[in-house]
Structure 1
Amino acid sequence: MADASVLSFLGDVTEHGPVISLAGARKTYKTGSIEYEALRGIDLTIDAGEYVAVIGPSGSGKSTIMNILGCLDTLTSGSYLLAGDNVEDLDETELAMVRNQRIGFVFQQFHLLPSLSAWRNVELPLVYAGVHRDERRGRAVAALERVGLGDRLDNKPGQLSGGQQQRVAVARALVTEPTLILADEPTGNLDSHSTEEVLGLFDELHDTGRTIVLITHEHDVAARSRRIVQVRDGLITAQEVAA
């Protein structure tokens, strides 16, 4: 166990300084005798409170970056410091705690359980964290109200539009009060109106001090961030401050 190393991230993350620091990050996948280098030695630093979009075409390595940042995959070589802690030093229990309590995930596919109401979908991370039942409902309701769905608490996913389902997914990402939001193509399945609603939510979250990393292949979506990181063939090819 590396309990001491995980404390800074599971505790209060500093308001200044890097939340994410990748150095010489490489990721190689092997299938039999075939090797594919998805990341080819990238350096990336994201400070607390930043709103960064990682953009690139299919196969560029941006989804691999997402998986590494979310502690869903590990590097082949190089280092990943999360709020100053070396992720490589954390065991599976600690990594699970980080994923559940300090990172909020939003995916292109909403990943909502169709048999559960909106608030019960939102409370799931709290169930896994062992939060008491009464507190879970209160926090789930508050999260749904925050994304404008206070009147849809008992609706199941099939009774909601695509944009509403993604807002439920955002509420679920927020319910643990994470310091870092990772969003992987969150508008990929949405129409233009719903896209604007979800991006508006990210704007609001950024305004409250959340660190947001948005993975996308759409330039107009990336332009809503404050910094754009362009990725191609496993390398960062350019970085620019969004207009």
Structure 2
Amino acid sequence: MSALIELAGVRKTYRSGSVEFEALRGVDAAIETGEYVAVIGPSGSGKSTLMNLLGCLDVPTEGHYLLAGEDTAELDEAALAVIRNRRIGFVFQQFHLLPSMSAWRNVELPLVYAGIPRAERRERAVAALTRVGLAERVDHRPGELSGGQQQRVAVARALVTEPDLLLADEPTGNLDSTSTRDVLGLFDELHAAGRTIVLITHEPDVAARAQRNLVIDDGLITVDRPTAAAGAPA
């Protein structure tokens, strides 16, 4: 394996007038290709800020974030947009599905932005939905799907560009216990197939499904530990 993500001395400071708030205070971490890592911490610990940096939605105030060896601080907004669209798949607590569009239409959206021809878009969207177990639901709209199924559509949309990294921010926060098990089982399958996954959560039971936990508190990673899942076959 090789490091897909490298964080070195990463700080993030927000300023409002004369007031400063340091959300990240010198984060060092590495995540290897194919790892399944959960970042866990309480509200206000810096999880969301770290997620925004990992997703190239923001850049560090100080330090370096290397994605596949490329320093994101050296990239302009156009280059960062390409990374967000093609190399990172996002899954959020809110599903962010368009209610008037079918499942496959929702899944194809990243391909639309990438300029992929229509016929190829549908083929790849249906393949992604099949991959997450929704082959029989490709023409259903979000309102016709359960919460767990809607999150699976969101995962399919994240996977349709075959990204280097799947970044999931509290992906089970709006799900009941059955749907939570369903979606976490899907993440287990994706990890077993070699996908790199970083999951942001405040729930210990969810974090325990990952190979490794990075515990963040007050803007610092305070613990880096393997979980019981690290011993499970991948």
**What is the TM-score of this pair, normalised by structure 2?**
0.96
Selected match of 2:134 from 119, 136, 149: 149
Secondary structure of the corresponding residue to residue 151 of structure 1: helix
1:158-212 deviation digits (Å, cap 9, x = unpaired): 1111111100000000101112100000000000110011111111111111111
For 1:189, the equivalent position in structure 2 comes to 174
Residues 192-211 of structure 1: pairs in structure 2 closer than 5 A: 192-211=177-196
Q: Distance in 2 between matches of 1:174 and 1:201?
A: 12
Number of residue pairs the alignment of both structures matches:
228
Mapping for residues 165-184 of structure 1, pairs under 5 Å: 165-184=150-169
Deviation at 1:87, TM superposition (A): 0.5
Q: Which residue of structure 1 aligns with residue 231 of structure 2? A: none
> How big is the alpha-carbon RMSD for the aligned residues of Structure 1 and Structure 2?
0.7
Q: In the TM superposition, what is the alpha-carbon distance from 1:115 to its structure 2 partner?
A: 1.1
- Listed as ranges, the gaps of 5+ residues in structure 1 are 1-15
- 1:88 and 1:234 mapped to 2: Cα distance? 20
Moved segments of 4+, more than 6 Å: none
Deviation track 1:127-177 (CA, whole Å, cap 9, x = no partner) reads: 000001000000000111111111111111111111111000000001011
Q: What amino acid sits opposite 1:112 in the alignment?
A: L
Identity %: 72
For 1:167, give the aligned amino acid.
Answer: R
Match of 2:203 among 218, 224, 242: 218
1:101 aligns with 2:93: no
Q: d(CA) in 1 for partners of 2:164 and 2:27?
A: 23
SS in 2 for 1:164: helix
Q: Which residue of structure 2 lines up, in the alignment, with residue 118 of structure 1?
A: 103
User: Which amino acid in structure 1 is aligned with residue 92 of structure 2?
Assistant: F
Q: Calculate the TM-score normalised by the size of structure 1.
A: 0.92
